[in-house]
Structure 1
Amino acid sequence: MQGKKAAAKSAERVIKKYPNRRLYDTDSSAYITLADVKQLVMDQATFVVRDAKTGEDITRSILLQIILEEEAGGAPMFTEQVLASIIRFYGHAMQGFMAPYLEKNIQAMVEVQTQMADKAQSFTPEMWSRFMTMQSPVLQGLMGSYVEQSKSAFQQMQEQMQKNADQVLGAFGLKRP
C-alpha cells in the first residue's frame, strides 16, 4: 500500500512558488500564471504548490488567491453577508463542522450540474426553449435531490455536534436531559 502512495505522490504535479511571486511548473519546466493554475483546477489536474525555499505546501493560499481574483473580477459568487458569516465561523465551536458541511453541499451541486449537463446534451434548441420557459420536472427533481442532500449533511452535522456535546458533558459526569 505504501508503494501506491509513493507512486501517487511522485505522479503529483509540483508547482514551485519563488520569492519573486513567480510560479514554476516542474512538469512543463516553465513559469506559469495564476490563470494557468486556475486552468489546472478546471481540468481537475492533481497538483501541489510548494514554496521553493522551504518546501512548504502552499496550495491553499494559491487557491484562495485565485478565488480572490475571481471575486474581484466583476461577477462575485459570495455576498458580503456570506463572507462575513464565514469569517465568524473561524474560532467558533462550529468551525470544525463547517468545512465538511460546505464540502458536501458543493459536491451535491456538482452532481446536479453533471446530471443537468448529461441530460442537456440531447436537447435541441427548441427543447431548450421549452425547458427554460416552463418549470421542468427534471430541474425540480435535481434541485429536490440537492435539497435532500443538503438536509442530510446538516442533520449529520447536528448529530455529530450532539455526540460531541454528550462527550464533553460525560467528561464532567453530566448527561443531557
Structure 2
Amino acid sequence: MNKKSKQGSEPIIIKRYASRKLYDAAAKEYVTLEDIARYIREGRDVKIIDKSTGEDLTRQYLVQIIADFESQGENALPLNILTDLVRHYQEQASSVASAMTPAFLGQMFEAYKAQQEKALSELGELGSNAMDPEKVMGAMNEAMRDWQEKQSEFFAQTMRQWGFGAPQSAQNGEPSQQAAPTQSVDEAQTAEKEAKIRAIEDNLEALQDQLKKLR
C-alpha cells in the first residue's frame, strides 16, 4: 500500500465486493487482511461491510485475521483458552446470558494481557539477576509453570462466574438437579486436571523453544 486512510476518530470503512476483494474507500485502493491488521495495530477502528447489502462483516474478518496469525505460528492465546472458548461458545450463545458474551470475552482478554505482562516482567528479572544459563532456564520454567497454573485457575473461576459450564437449570434460575455420583465427579475432575496439565506442558514447551532460539 502506498496511501494511508485519513487519521481520525471515525472507523476506516472497508467495502467487500462480489469478487470478495476488499476496498478502502478513503484511501481509494484495494487492501488485504494484513493491511487491515496493520490499521488495527496502529490504533484505528475498522468497519468492513458488504458493498451490495450493507451487511456488517467486521466480526467475520477479525476472526479470520486471528486464525491467520495462529496458522502462521503467532500464538497469541494459549491452547487452554482457545479450547475453553470452543467448548463453551455454543453453550453460552444459546443461553439466557448470551448478551454478556462480549463483556465476558473483553474481561477475560484484558485479564490475560495483565497476567502475561506480569509473567514476562518476572521472567525478565530472573534473566537479569541470574548468571548460570541452566539456573536461568530452570527458574524460568518454574515461574512459567506457576503462572500457567494460576492462569488456568483464574479463567476457570471467571468462566464459572459468568455462567459458562453451569447447568442449564441453574442459569435459568431454577434449582440444579442433584449431583452425579462421587465417582463420576472424580472422573470429571481428573479429566479436567489432565487437560490443564497438557495445556500447560504445551505452552511451556513453546516457551522453551523460544528461549533456546535466544541463547
- TM category, shorter: 0.5 to 0.7
- Aligned to 1:14, the other structure's residue is in SS state strand
Pairing 1:110–2:113 present: yes
Larger mean CA deviation between 101-110 and 55-64 belongs to 101-110
Shift of 1:49: 0.9
| Match 2:87 to one of 85, 88, 92 | 85
Report 1 or 2 for greater relative contact order, CA contacts < 8 Å, sequence distance ≥ 6: 2
CA change 1:27–1:125 in 2 (3 A) is farther
Shift of 1:38: 2.5
For 1:3, the equivalent position in structure 2 comes to: none
Letter in 2 for 1:85: R
CA change 1:89–1:95 in 2 (3 A) is farther
For 1:154, the equivalent position in structure 2 comes to: 159
Gaps of 5+ in 2: 1-7, 178-215
Letter in 2 for 1:113: Q
Gaps of 5+ in 1: 1-8, 170-174
CA change 1:26–1:119 in 2 (3 A) is farther
Assess if the C-alpha contact under 8 Å between 1:104 and 1:153 holds in 2.
no
Measured against aligned partners, the alpha-carbon deviations of 1:123-150 in whole angstroms (never above 9, x if no partner) come to 5496794543225786577556534542
1:58-97 to 2 correspondences below 5 Å? 58-73=57-72, 82=83, 85=87, 89=91, 92-93=94-95, 96=98
CA change 1:10–1:71 in 2 (3 A) is closer
Measured against aligned partners, the alpha-carbon deviations of 1:44-87 in whole angstroms (never above 9, x if no partner) come to 432111112222211011123224434544677769x9487367
CA change 1:65–1:128 in 2 (3 A) is farther
Q: Percent identity?
A: 20
For 2:172, the equivalent position in structure 1 comes to: 165
Measured against aligned partners, the alpha-carbon deviations of 1:12-53 in whole angstroms (never above 9, x if no partner) come to 222121212111223433211112223334444321111122
- For 2:45 and 2:52, how far apart are their aligned partners in 1? 22
| Count of matched residue positions in the alignment of Structure 1 and Structure 2 | 161
CA change 1:153–1:91 in 2 (3 A) is closer
How high is the TM-score relative to the length of structure 1?
0.59
How high is the TM-score relative to the length of structure 2?
0.51
Measured against aligned partners, the alpha-carbon deviations of 1:76-123 in whole angstroms (never above 9, x if no partner) come to 7769x9487367537654882766555433332211223344556675
